[in-house]
Amino acid sequence: MKSTRRLLLYRIVRLIKELYPNTSTQNPYQEHQAQILAYLDTEEQLLFSDLLHTITLLNGQGRLNDHNEMISSREDLLTTFQLILPKELQLTPKILEAHEQLLKVYQSNPFTYIEACARLRTSKSTLKRLLKPLLLYGLIIKQKDDNSTRTQFQAIAIHQKTTPTIFDEAHEEWEDYKGFVEF
C-alpha cells in the first residue's frame, strides 16, 4: 500500500476516534476475514482493525448490542476491504455486476461453473477471475453436491439485515407468550 494512502487512512482513524472517544465496536465477521487478512502484513492488519472500527462508528446508528457496542455490518467490512486491500483483490463494478446477475437469476439456488458461464456469456477462465474476489469476500460460497462431483456455488446478498425490526422483536415475544396461568 502506498505510504500516502496509508497516512491518510491513519489520519481518518485518528479523527474519528477523537470524535467518538469512548465508543466500542464488535466485529461478528472476524473468523470470515482471516483469509483476506492473510494478504496483509501485521501493520496493515492493525490498520484494518482500526479502520473497520471507525467505519462502523460512522455507519453504526441503530446497531447497538446489549453492551452498547456498535456492531459491524457486512457493508462496513466490504468498505474497509476496499480501502485497504491491493487493487487486484478489490471489487470492481464489473465483478459486482456479475454478482448481481448471478444473484438475480439463481437467488438462493446453487449453480455450477458451466451454468454461470452460460448465464454471464463468458469463458471459464474469465469467470474464475470474476469469482475469485467474490469467494474471497464471502459473496459467493463454494459448496459440494452430495449427488455429484461438480463444485457448486451459491450467491449471497450483500445487504443483509443486521438488526431485527420492531415487528420481528414483537413477534418473537408473542411466540414466547404462554398466556395467563390460573392459580
Q: What CATH number does residue 126 fall under?
A: 1.10.10.10
Compute CA distances 83 → 6, 27, 103, 136, whole Å.
10, 17, 25, 15
For residue 54, give its domain range: 3-87
Residues 135 and 116 in one domain: yes
Residues 75 and 117 in one domain: no
Residues 83 and 108 in one domain: no
Q: Write down the pLDDT at residue 171.
A: 53
Residues 69 and 144 in one domain: no
Q: Write down the pLDDT at residue 162.
A: 38
Residues 9 and 24 in one domain: yes
Q: Write down the pLDDT at residue 102.
A: 87
Query: Is there a domain that residue 181 lies in?
Result: no
Query: Is there a domain that residue 26 lies in?
Result: yes
Average pLDDT per block of 10 residues along the chain, 183 residues long: 80 87 81 76 87 84 72 79 74 82 84 86 86 82 72 75 48 53 52
Chain Cα centroid distance, residue 48: 14
Q: Write down the pLDDT at residue 145.
A: 63
How many distinct structural domains can be found in the chain? 2
For residue 29, give the 3-state DSSP assignment. coil
